[in-house]
Amino acid sequence: MSDSGANARPTGSRAAAAESDAAYVRFDNVQKSYDGVSLVVKSLNLDIAKGEFLTMLGPSGSGKTTCLMMLAGFEPATHGEIFLDTRPINKVPPHKRGIGMVFQNYALFPHMTVEENLAFPLEVRRMSRDEARQRVAKALEMVELPGFGGRRPAQLSGGQQQRVAVARALVFEPALVLMDEPLGALDKQLREQMQYEIKHIHENLGVTVVYVTHDQSEALTMSDRIAVFDDGIIQQLSTPDELYERPQNSFVAHFIGENNTLHGTVTEVRNGECRVAVDGGGEVSALAVNVEGPNTRTTLSLRPERAEIDPTSTDGLNTLEGKVEELIYLGDHIRTRLTVAGHDDFIVKVPNTHAHRPLKVGEAATIAWLTEDCRALDPISR
């Protein structure tokens, strides 16, 4: 695993605060097994800074939701300790951890009004009626639903119900809020709108958020940092731009955004770069991110928007020859699929501008890119 993995410390805008203060949430060598044999979470070490928005991202079965459930107290850790504000919480029951939760299915009480739903966690904490009334009104303002307090959940749209669920998680002013796929039931447009709303609520309140999703664009939009999970291990822990621009292994490169892959053999390594003889013909240069040395196999990673078709000059560029197989008009760009080095799934996003000549299916094309945009990642077996 890379240096950006599970043991890494915070980077980016909140790094300084995290380095000077103890982590607000800490997983210390945490493991989880349901059957006593196989580990769903494997030796997780993760620090989350106070006020940070950290997303646990990964495919189904990668261990991200299990980590959230252990932090919430709904699942016990098999090994290791979880700390909240320096306090060990493994033996603290969920209702005494002071954590707000937002679920995908909203989990609102259907027989209660919106106000009653929001007041419920305050009543459990024996808050006075006057203070509870003020907190509820403030929470409804925060999610832009004033005047909806008398309605029942069935009288609200999906987006409005989700806002109520967020308000209920925040109404008792917890320092930590956990969100488990909270936008999964919404349509695309509403989902994107809610991403920005949750992000802005987080920025305004400064609450610590741990968010679980399998949606890459959602994670990139909302997070301070993203922990990419696979097979119970954090493959990389970085800021959104770092994950996208500088993936440390093939899994992260494929899981975060769209990615072209070429395989080949390393012929030379020098000054952080390497030459690679590409399977199917041609030789190119790449950043030697994770290579074993000359005469070893590697995987090349290149984003579709970083490649160019038939540039006016190829000086200083890597080039491979290809053939146009498909053109898809997407407004701001033309998604161009080509056969390159024997593979017919090489994608180039061609900007829809007057500077780019129209392409035709079946024609030959030269694909070019900068060395710094291509990454040689973890070796592959022969």
Instruction: From residue 77, give the alpha-carbon distance in Å to each of 28, 57, 62, 335.
Output: 11, 20, 16, 46
pTM of the model: 0.85
The reported pLDDT for the residue numbered 108 is: 87
**Tokens matching residue 137:** 């009104």
Return the DSSP state at 32. Answer: E
The reported pLDDT for the residue numbered 21 is: 56
Q: In 3-state terms, what secondary structure has residue 169?
A: helix
Q: Which class would CATH give 15-98+175-252?
A: alpha beta
**Tokens matching residue 1:** 């695993």
The reported pLDDT for the residue numbered 5 is: 46
Amino acid at 135: R
The reported pLDDT for the residue numbered 125 is: 86
Q: Count CB neighbours of 51 within 10 A.
A: 18
Round to whole Å and give the CA distance between 314 and 304. 18
Give phi and psi for 99, each to the nearest 5.
Answer: -110, 135
Average pLDDT score, the chain: 89
The reported pLDDT for the residue numbered 14 is: 44
**Tokens matching residue 246:** 């500088």
239, 98, 105: which is closest to 170 by C-alpha?
98
Torsion of CA 80, 84, 88, 92, to 10 degrees: -100
In this structure, which topology does domain 259-377 adopt according to CATH? OB fold (Dihydrolipoamide Acetyltransferase, E2P) (2.40.50)
Q: Locate the domains of the chain by residue range.
A: 15-98+175-252, 259-377
Contact in structure between 237 and 207 (CB atoms under 8 Å): no
The reported pLDDT for the residue numbered 245 is: 94
Q: What is the mean pLDDT for each group of 10 consecutive residues in the chain (382 residues)?
A: 43 41 90 94 96 96 95 96 96 92 84 93 88 91 89 90 89 90 82 87 91 94 96 96 94 92 95 96 95 93 95 92 95 95 94 83 96 89 46
